[in-house]
Amino acid sequence: MKILLKILKWCLYFLLIPTGYVVISLILSYITVNKSELTSKENQEIYLSSNGVHLAIVVHINDISSELLRGLKYAQDEKYFSFGWGDKNFYLNTPSWDDLTFGNVFKALFLKGSTLIHLARYKYKNKSWVNIKITDMELSKLNQFISASFKKRTNGRKIILKNKSYSTNDDFYLAVGRYSLFNTCNSWVNKAFKKSGLKACYWTPFAFGLMNKYKKTGATDKKCQ
């Protein structure tokens, strides 16, 4: 009987860990940092993209700094650049949700794996993107944050992975930082917003945390029609 009680006790402890993680994540996702209202100085725009699980930052080529644009592979007719950050193993071995395995998820969340920048390029705006108005200063800081997320050679050049793309309009680049349960693809986007002075969550590992900050304020009113 004592052994059974001990097993039950440890099972409860084990369940408390993911439950506590989710509860704390939801609370911190709800807390808003930085501004909450538009100003007349917000004469630039970026886009927030989500597939429901993974966030990415989309910037028009004309609003990408020369430092960030330097060394990126793209065609002349590709105008919108989507930047995502994530676990290297997960990116390369899970091209679609049909390829999702417990092993890949476990490695990404608990083993602090190396990371990649996923750059997808588009010719036109996507109607599902959320339009976000920002200032020149915020745009400049956002460019700096994304650029600093690329791992570079000693000569400053970005490091592209050859023959590892999902399609003809995307590529992977080596990135700085380690992916973990507390430093996810979505917390990277949220951190980019926080560092740039944009409205963001206090911290969030989820896509909906940041998306809700803008959808609730009508940020989608000016999306491409």
The predicted-structure confidence for 82-134, as pLDDT tens digits, reads as follows 999 999 988 887 655 555 555 555 555 555 678 999 999 999 999 999 999 99
Quote the CA–CA distance of 179 and 176 in Å, as a whole number: 10
Asked whether the predicted pLDDT for residue 182 surpasses 70, the reply is yes
Going by C-alpha positions, the residue among 136, 131, 138 that lies closest to residue 214 is 131
Tell me the β-bridge partners of 32: 201
Mind listing the pLDDT tens digit for each residue in 33-72?
Answer: 997 666 667 789 999 999 888 899 999 999 999 999 999 9
Do 185 and 86 meet the contact criterion of CB atoms below 8 Å apart? Answer: yes
pLDDT of residue 113: 72
Residue 134 neighbours by CB distance under 10 Å:
23
Do 46 and 57 meet the contact criterion of CB atoms below 8 Å apart? Answer: yes
DSSP string, 79-126: -EEEEEEEEHHHHHH-SSGGG--HHHHHHHHHS---EEEEEEEESS--
pLDDT of residue 215: 79
pLDDT of residue 225: 28
Quote the CA–CA distance of 119 and 152 in Å, as a whole number: 15
pLDDT of residue 79: 97
pLDDT band at 193 (very low <50, low <70, confident <90, very high): very high
Q: Is the pTM of this model over 0.85?
A: no
